Structure 1
Amino acid sequence: MDLAGLFSLEGRVALVTGASGTLGAHFARVLHAAGAAVVLAARRLPACESLAAELGGRAVAVPLDLADPAAIASAFAAGEAAFGAPCDVIVNNAGVAVTQPALELATEAWDAVAGVNLRGAFLVAREGARRLVAAGRSGAIVNISSILGLRVTAGVAAYAAAKAGLIQLTRALAVELARHRIRVNALAPGYVETDMNRAFFATDAGQAMIRRIPTRRLGTPADLTGALLLLASDASAHMTGAVVAVDGGHSINPL
């Protein structure tokens, strides 16, 4: 049994949205190490260009504005032009959050969070799937949700609603795209330490939150590597519509 080959992405072209951030960059490195050519897509193009230079061959940076369907189409077209094939692994990673009580949350903030986390993910999945169907190619879409799509906490109503919507979108797309041999699954990370949240988790409130995680620690980007490779590769050939939580048991903790 060729276990290494089971998780190989040799010959695949992967597009990662939000590739300029901590998790997006990690996902891109993992997919590249598994053999895929990677399209690094984000609004912060210089960060993607730096990552592309780090990876060397089989990597290209493209600008991406998730609010603009034409820009999304251009990002996919650029990937196809660079590597000569449609993107058949799509990682919907881009996301934003606003932490604020619901009674104080501005409509514009709600729209911004839902626009990136849900509408933008749909537009990317739709564009990628349309291109795969047109080319008669199979593929894998991995939507990066969150355990806040499975449970809630105070102050992130827009984010939790959008991530829950993304899980349901994953299931709906999985049903519709299965006949085209396109699998759609969701990865739901728990709290993962990044540059943006490190200061919070050093506070008393942050430490209290960590104590509610059964494993008593935050996740790291490396903790997501196996689940990402599973969902992106043929190792999950008979999985679609699944939600894989990687959270140290946080989402099942009744506390």
Structure 2
Amino acid sequence: MTTALVTGASRGIGRAIAVALSERGDRVAVHYGHDREAAEETRSLLTGDGHLVVGGDLADPAGARAVVDTALEAFGGIDVLVNNAALAPSPATLHKIDETSYEHWDQVWSQMLDLDLRAPANVSFLVARALISAGRPGAIVNVGSRGAFRGEPDFPAYGAAKAGLHAMGQSLAVALAPHGIAVTSVAPGFVGTDRQEQTLAGARGEAIRAQSPFGRVATPEEVAAAVVYLTSPQSQWASGAVLDLNGASHLRT
């Protein structure tokens, strides 16, 4: 049976990914940063038995190690890692360069780089080394963002961290291929999670939906479906890819 660790799986995209992997038959470690109750709710939605809830601050290197060690001990190994946990754009992390203070600018950059880039780098290291030691193949998927390509003028640290995440994934894809470990990234556009319900129902909702010629935003389940494919044995030849999931709202050349 395949085992998976999904970071930031207490709600939204992470929850949808955990559910989809469980429906495939995986045993899933549901990671949360602060909200154990929401993570337990995610576990209650999973298909099958033997799932795990594990909490920890991934921005702390010791916390990242504790999360991975807990999952490894419970499952005897981790075959699939989904790096989903991130500090997302919000009013609290707004840092437009022409409006914010230097102190706030520096604080947000530190927070976003620590959680959105350094944390997945550390978790990837720990899971990859465990796979290598066990001589097992595996898959790592990073949940990046369309913002890495089109820019995030109000949240430049977020755009930079996600661009770094994509680049890290491609570097690791080359480094880990000899060990049978595939590494890919997905780059979603706007996703209609519960956190975004109020925004989509408000004055900006129509404009956000109009970004895509489909006239809507993605569902978390659509992102999860891509992750299920990218963590399957059939997708190994996609290693190194960054898959756009933005409904043609931004086209790369």
Q: With structure 1 as the length reference, what TM-score do the two structures score?
A: 0.90
Which structure 2 residue ranges, 5 or more long, are not aligned?
none
How do 1:61-80 residues align onto structure 2 when only pairs under 5 Å count?
61-80=53-72
* Equivalent in 57, 67, 82 of residue 74 of structure 2: 82
Q: Which residue of 2 aligns with 1:3?
A: none
Equivalent position amino acid for 2:64 in 1: I
* Per-residue deviation, residues 1-60 of structure 1 (Å, max 9, x unmatched): xxxxxxxxxx11100000112111111000011011000111122322232234351211
Partner of 1:101: 96
Task: Name the counterpart of 2:142.
Answer: 143
C-alpha contact (below 8 Å) 2:95/2:108 kept by paired residues: no
Amino acid paired to 2:38: A
Structure 2 equivalent of residue 25 of structure 1: 15
Return the alpha-carbon distance in structure 2 between the equivalents of residues 173 and 204 of structure 1.
41
Q: Which moved more, 1:146-155 or 1:50-59?
A: 50-59
Aligned match of 1:36: 26
The alignment-based identity, stated in percent, is 35
Asked if structure 2 preserves the Cα contact closer than 8 Å seen for 1:212 and 1:253, the reply is no
Deviation of 1:171 after TM superposition, in Å, equals 0.6
SS of residue paired to 2:191? coil
Structure 1: distance between partners of 2:208 and 2:147: 13
CA–CA separation in structure 2 for the residues paired with 1:172 and 1:240: 10
**Alpha-carbon spacing, 1:197–1:100, altered in 2? closer, same or farther (3 Å):** farther
- Check the 8 A contact 1:214/1:253 in 2, yes or no: no
Following the alignment from structure 2 to structure 1, what is the Cα–Cα distance between the partners of residues 118 and 11? 19
Q: Is the 8 A contact 2:10 2:41 kept in 1?
A: no
Residue 221 of structure 1: how far off its partner (Å): 1.0
Once residues 253 and 137 of structure 1 are traced to their aligned partners in structure 2, the CA distance between those partners, rounded to angstroms, is: 34
Report the equivalent of 1:228: 227
| Contact persistence 1:20–1:42 (CA under 8 A) | yes
Going from structure 1 to structure 2, the CA distance change for 1:78 and 1:63 (only over 3 Å counts) comes to same
SS in 2 for 1:179: helix
Between 22-31 and 194-203, report the one with greater CA deviation: 194-203
Q: Which whole-Å CA distance do the structure 2 matches of 1:77 and 1:109 have between them? A: 29
The alignment of Structure 1 onto Structure 2 pairs a total of residues equal to 243
Which residue does 2:128 correspond to in 1? 129
Aligned to 2:172: 173
- TM-score norm. by structure 2 comes to 0.90
Contact 2:81 2:140 in 1 (8 A): yes
Residue 253 of structure 1, CA deviation: 8.3
Q: Mind listing any 5+ residue stretches in structure 1 that lack a counterpart?
A: 1-10
- Compared CA separation, residues 196 and 51, structure 1 to 2 (3 A): closer
